[in-house]
Structures are given as C-alpha cells and as structure tokens.
Structure 1
Amino acid sequence: MAGLRARPNNGRGETAVRDDVAGARTGRAALLVLCALLLLGDLGWSLRERSVQELFKMRLLDFSRDATLLNFLIGAMPALIAVGLGPPVGAWSDRTRCRFGRRIPFIFGSALIATAGMLGMAFSTGLATLAFCWIVFEIATIVGNPLFLALINDTVPRPVLGRFFALFRIVSLVTGAGFFALFFHNEAAAVFQPLLTMIAMAYLGCMLLVCWRVREPPHVPVPADGWWPRADTDGKWWRLFAAVALGAVAVLPININALNACAQFGADAGDFGRAIALTYAISAVLAWPMGWLADRFHPLRVGTVALAAYALCMLGAWQLVAGRTGFIVALVAHGVLAGCFLTGTVSLLPAVLPRARFSQLAAVSASVTAVLVVAAAMGLGALLDATGRDYRLLYPAGALAAGCGVVLWWSLWRRELPPRP
C-alpha cells in the first residue's frame, strides 16, 4: 500500500509536524479570505466596468450621433490619458513605501474620483457637462484599473493566477449579464440618473472594503530608472506590449460602435441588452476552462488561437450579416470570442513581468495600446462618418487588426516558449 505509506519526518518531532500542518491550513485559509475580498472588490469594479460606458453611450445619443465624437470620447481620449498618466503613476506606485502599502493609496484615491465622475454624469443636463464628467471618470479608472490588477499580482500566488483571474472574469461576466438582462432595455434612459447613482455607490462601497481589509506584502526597493523600460535591458517587453495592443485594438470597433450600429440592422437597445447578457452568460461558463488552459498551456498559446478564431469570425460576419438576426448572432460571437481571448490572456502580464516593476511595465504596455487605440479609433470614426455610417465596416476592421495580431502573437509563441513535449 505504497500510497498510504507514512512519510519520514527527517528526525523532527510530532509537534513540529503538527505545526507545519496547522501553518499550511492557516495559509490556505488566509488565501481564501484574500481571494474573497479581492473578488468582492471585483464585484464593484465589474459593475462599473460593464455598465457605465454603455449607459454613457445611451445618454450621449440624446445629444449627438456623430461617430467621430463617439470614437474620440470612448477610444482616443482615454488612450491619450493612459499615455500621459499611466507610466508615471505606475512607476510612482512601484516606488511608494507607506504604512498603507504601495497600491492601496492610489486605489482609494481613484475610487473616490471615479465615483465623483459617475455622480456628475448622472446629474448632467448638457453635452459639455456630460463629457467633462466622463473625462474625470476615465482619468480615475485609467489610473485605478492597472493598480487594482497590480494589487492582485502582488498578493495572489503565481501558480494559481490563471485560475484566480478566471474567477475574476466569472464575477465580472455574471455581473455584466445581470446588469444587461435586468436594466439595459429601451426604457433605461428614463432611469439613467438613479441607476448610475446606485452603481456609483455600490462600486465605492466594494473598493473601500478592499482598501480597508487587504494587506499588501512587504516589497524590496525598486531602482529609480525612469518611467519607461530601457531598450537595452527591456527590449523583449516591447514585442510583448505590441502583441497585447493589437489584441485590444482588434475588438475595439464593435466594442465602441455596436450600440450605435443597432439601427442600421433593425435592432434596438433591448435587443442589444439581451445579446450582451447572453454573451456574458456564455463567457462566464467558459471562463474557468480558459483560465485552466492558460495555466496549463501558457497565455501566449491560448491568446494566439483565440485571436485567430476571432479574425475568422469577423471575416464571416462581413460576408453574411445583413439584418437583425445576423447582427445579433455576430454580436454574441464577437463577445464570446473576445471574452475567450481576454480570459485566456489576462494572466499574461502578471505571469511574465517582474513583480518589483509590474505596475510601471504594465502602464507602459497600456501606453503602447493607447497609441494604437488613438489611431484606430479616430481613423474608424472618420471612416464611418465619411461612408454615411455604414457599420458593416466594423467587421473587416476587426478582422484586419486581429489578423495582424495573430502574426505577432505567433512569433512570440515561437520565439519565447519552448516546444511542448
């Protein structure tokens, strides 16, 4: 009965062995509490991420249907903010040493400002005020989002990061599915103010609880080597950052413009809400398997396959979508495949970037993404306006970006990963 054979304790007493077992149980319990707190923070974070942008788009339609303005406010403007604020704030956070940690102070401040921006949007009565509050909100979220992910990277053990981020995505997707199924319909504009106020308060409560109860581990000093990675020592990161950027840009055309595209295909806000709710429900079921695949095979492999499937899907939609049913099916397929890509690769940067400089390097990655987003969003908005807002162009635009991304992801796969046995 070799499987039941007692293991030697190497001369250690029974008390020491019992202490080891108790310590392991305490460690597991502490990890479970930590994960529960972070997932509760994810609940508020996801409610904000999944709902506020679409509510803002719906409110913006009351003032303007200009595609260039929409793509600037949703795509280019946040990207410009990320380029200007991301790297210095990330480096500042990496080097911060205070009694509250190096992430918590920034998360706390950004949560307060984001809440103020949401409340401002809720009570705005004009385009200028609405746009200003949106910009304030975006500044806070652009600063806070990578630092919340950095807090997870600092506290969750790396061997389980893929599965934790799968849970993270499940909470996010279930939250989004619930929001779109229950609240996003043709009458949502009538309850815009109380709905956005409720979301702001729920988000603030969850993030304050994270700031109060989560404790960061001690960190070694970080060298003060500037905001940007050096080409001689960190050149390998630039290829990775470019690959991440192309993946983000590929899903951008439909993510930004799908709600405005509904009318061209005979769909309405209710159809859109139901399609997104279904998308999130399917993605939630797939999230854990995708996280397992990322841990088992590496996020680079998972990302390459998912992005290739997305490119093929968008090419098919370009040729086949003509009416309401095809548009809704393509919207759900877009969301599911984009979700597979995001879930399968969300642990990529935490898995490969050094923890001591994670926030700085992640912010630089976001800045590279932002540069491409600015060009893609403004170019796409101008193209749509120039063609009379023909939203069928969203499909070849996504396919082209995804195809370019596949080439770069494949090259990274072949260059950086050893062959599987």
Structure 2
Amino acid sequence: MSTDHRVPHRAEPSQPVSHRWIAAITVANVGLFTAWFGPILTLLGLQTQRFAGSDKEAALAWIVGIGALCSTVATPIFGALSDRTVSRYGRRLPWVVAGTTGGVLSLILLAVAPGLIVVGIGWCAAQIALNANFAAITAAVPDHVPRAQRGIVGGFLGLAQTVGGVVGTGLAVLAGGIAGGYLACAVFLVIATLPYLAMRRDHPLDPAEREQFSWLEFGRGFWVSPRRHPDFAWAWVTRFLINLSFAIGLVYLLFYLGDAVGHHSPAQGVLVLTAVNSAALLATVLVAGAISDRTDRRRVFVCVAGLVMAAATTSLALWHVWPVAVVAVAVLGLGMGVFTSVDLALMIDVLPAAADRGKDLGVVNIANAMPQVLAPVLAAPLVSSFGGYGALYGVAAALAATGAVLVYKISTVD
C-alpha cells in the first residue's frame, strides 16, 4: 500500500485498519521485543557473569539501569521528532528505518564486546536506537486505529511483546553462545520489520502544518500538566506501578532460578518460564482486548490484571520451588495479557492532543522505561540486605495491587 496522503495527521481515525496492517505492525513489534528481551532476559546476564563473576548482580544492575535511563530519555524525544518530521515517506517510517539500523549495529557491538564497559556502551546505544523505532511504531496506533479497534490492536501488540520474549530467549539460548545470540536477534529484527516498512502506510506532515521550531517550546512540550490532564496522569501512574512490579521480578529472574530455586540450568529455566508465560498470555490478551472494545470499558480490566499479577508475585515471594514458579509465571501471564492489551487502549483514550501523539506516547513510555532504571536499584538491596527474594517479590506484589486500585482515579474512561 502506498503512503496515504488523504487523512490529516491531526484527525481522529475513523476507518478500521485491515487485518494485513495489524499483522504487519504485530510482527514488527515481535522483532523489536526480540531485540530487547534476548539481551535483557539472558544475554546481558551471561555477559555480566562472564566478566564480573561474583559481582554479577551489581554489574547487571548498572548496565540495565543505565540502559533504561537512556530509553527513558530517548522515547519521548524521538516521538516528538516524529511528530514534526516532514518526509515523502511520512512522519514515522523514517524513524523506524533509523531505529532498526541503529539497533542492528548496537547488537553487533554487543556480540563482540571484550568487557563490561563495551557491554554498557553497546546496550545504551541499543536502547536509544530501538526506542526510536518503538516511538514511531507506537505512535502509528493512534494515527491509524479508531477507538473501537484499540483494544484488539493493543492485544496483538501485547502478544507481540510476549512472543518477542520467547523468541529472544530462544535465540539467545539456542544460537550457539553469546555472540551468536546477539547476531540472531539482529537478523530477526530486520526480517520482522521489513513487511511493515513495505506497506508504506504513514501520514505525511504538510510542511505548512509544521510549527516553527523552538528549542524552548520543544523542551516545554515534554511536561504534561497533571492539573490540566489528571486522567492522563493517573493512567501514567497506574502503568508505572504495574510495570515496576513486573520489572522488579524480571530483572533478576535468571539469578532467582539459580540462587533461590536451585535450578540446574537457570538459562534454560528462563526459557521454559517465558514459554509458559506466553502460553498463559495467549489465553487472555486478545480476548480481553476484544471484550474491552465491545463493552467500551477499560478500568475494570486493568484493575483485575493488577490484582492477578499481585497474587502471582506473592506466591513467588512465599515459595521458592520450581513447580510454584511455573504456576506463578502462568498466572502472571494471564494478568499481563489483560493489562498489556487494555492499558494501551486506555492510554490512547486519554492522550492530551492529537498533534502530539508521538511525544505524548513517548512520555507514556517513561512509565515502561523508568521501572527498568528503578528495578535494579530497588532489587539489589532487597536481595542482598533486606529479606532476599521473598522481599523482592513481596514488594512487586504490593506495587501491582496499588496500581490496580489507582486506575479508578481515572474519571473520563469507563
């Protein structure tokens, strides 16, 4: 499909998107999350274990935390830039190309990294590049998808996130070593992104509509006033708390299996748990999004999802045995399936301004990225000094439950 010149970029979409477009953007997101989760779930942990030895927890915390800080800054900046980009190919697609290219080069650098410093540099570069891609692809959803389809599209994108975790972990484990894992993730990223780019569906920005650039106004635009937009603020807080809960448990999953559960092969254990989580997510992610669209209700789904996730992490806090870990991760997948599908639709429903969709969704992504910064900071002392993995997953449960309750502070969305 050629670039669409007919729909003003500020207009609320009214025409349903095709199954072909949904499939293409879903596969592109699978590639993106494969490039993220292959390193996060397995490869970075194996590298820090190789280079840092007994200090692996602290080394991983620094690398993941600094990388997530780069992600926190990069996504709203690239989202804002894509809002203003004038190109014959549209506003978003040039940044998808740039982000994919930069992500591949960064993964290659990680594959040949000789020590922790280069690992840190490579991961920061990967976070910046992949978030350019992520900002542009995410902004395409409110650009093209009408309200009545946002739940189901959010369901497919939530599915893509989990499938990306499975594919990334599988490539990391089965590709023949750390270098092979990174290169496999890079190749898969390119293959998965090409069908979406080939559709060339984007809304070009008329140069006459582009506001005169000002660094001062550009910087000010990243602040979304909670007083003027309270529902956006409460939705952001809800997403932040539930994502922080998930990130706290995720960042040390490899070490949890090895140190607390005593699994004979923690890397393979992560692969099994990721697959179980994905299978459970499949049971709810598309169904929840479709029911949310049909009933035009969002808050109850997010609330139930948070409480289910809190129950799952509570069981991980209390019982450090492999069968409980499998069941808990399955329950966590059920909750995450509901949350990832409906929460994206909820966030799009409360965006402050159509002209700033890319920038505002970049601000939304801070609620995803900042937990990755804070999770290692909170997790390291919890594991080492304040109760071990029981305390770690207990805090995760409390955060998810709090987010579940606070979603009802949103007043303009049912």
- TM-score, length basis structure 1: 0.81
**Mapped contact 2:273–2:329 kept (Cα < 8 A):** yes
Displacement, 1:136?
Answer: 0.8
Displacement, 1:222?
Answer: 6.4
Distance, in Å, in 1 between the alignment partners of 2:75 and 2:271 is 32
**Mapped contact 2:95–2:133 kept (Cα < 8 A):** yes
- Distance change in 2, residues 1:285/1:184 (3 Å): farther
Partner of 1:378: 377
| Equivalent residue letter for 2:413 | L
Number of aligned residues? 383
Q: Does 1:227 align with 2:213?
A: no
| Equivalent residue letter for 1:199 | C
Partner of 1:42: 29
- Distance change in 2, residues 1:91/1:137 (3 Å): same
Which of residues 310, 334, 338 is equivalent to 1:340?
A: 338
Which of residues 375, 382, 399 is equivalent to 2:397?
A: 399
Distance, in Å, in 1 between the alignment partners of 2:277 and 2:368 is 25
| Equivalent residue letter for 2:20 | V
Deviation per residue, 1:210-259 (Å, 9 max, x gap): 33432212557366753224536435422222222112111111111111
Distance, in Å, in 2 between the alignment partners of 1:169 and 1:235 is 25
Displacement, 1:307?
Answer: 0.3
Partner of 2:358: 359
- Distance change in 2, residues 1:129/1:79 (3 Å): closer
Partner of 1:62: 50
What is the percentage of aligned positions where both structures have the same residue?
Answer: 19
Distance, in Å, in 1 between the alignment partners of 2:205 and 2:229 is 21
Partner of 1:72: 62
Which of residues 245, 248, 251 is equivalent to 1:250?
A: 245
Bigger radius of gyration: 1
Partner of 2:85: 96
Partner of 1:17: none
| Equivalent residue letter for 2:339 | F
- Distance change in 2, residues 1:270/1:166 (3 Å): same
Deviation per residue, 1:28-76 (Å, 9 max, x gap): 8x823333332332342243234232222223222234323323322x3
User: Deviation above 6 Å: which 4+ runs of structure 1?
Assistant: none
- Distance change in 2, residues 1:344/1:32 (3 Å): closer
For 1:137-286, what aligned pairs fall within 5 Å after superposition?
137-174=126-163, 176-177=165-166, 180=169, 183=171, 185=173, 188=174, 190-218=176-204, 221=209, 225=217, 226-231=220-225, 233-263=228-258, 264-267=260-263, 268=265, 269-286=267-284
Partner of 1:22: none
**Mapped contact 2:236–2:364 kept (Cα < 8 A):** yes
**Mapped contact 2:172–2:180 kept (Cα < 8 A):** no
Larger deviation, residues 310-319 vs 124-133: 310-319
SS class of match (1:125): coil
Unaligned runs of 5+ in 2: 1-14
| Equivalent residue letter for 1:152 | V
Displacement, 1:189?
Answer: 8.2
Q: Does 1:306 align with 2:295?
A: no
Distance, in Å, in 1 between the alignment partners of 2:139 and 2:90 is 12
Deviation per residue, 1:299-324 (Å, 9 max, x gap): 322111110222233234323x1323
Unaligned runs of 5+ in 1: 1-26
SS class of match (1:417): coil
Displacement, 1:201?
Answer: 1.6
- Distance change in 2, residues 1:358/1:336 (3 Å): same
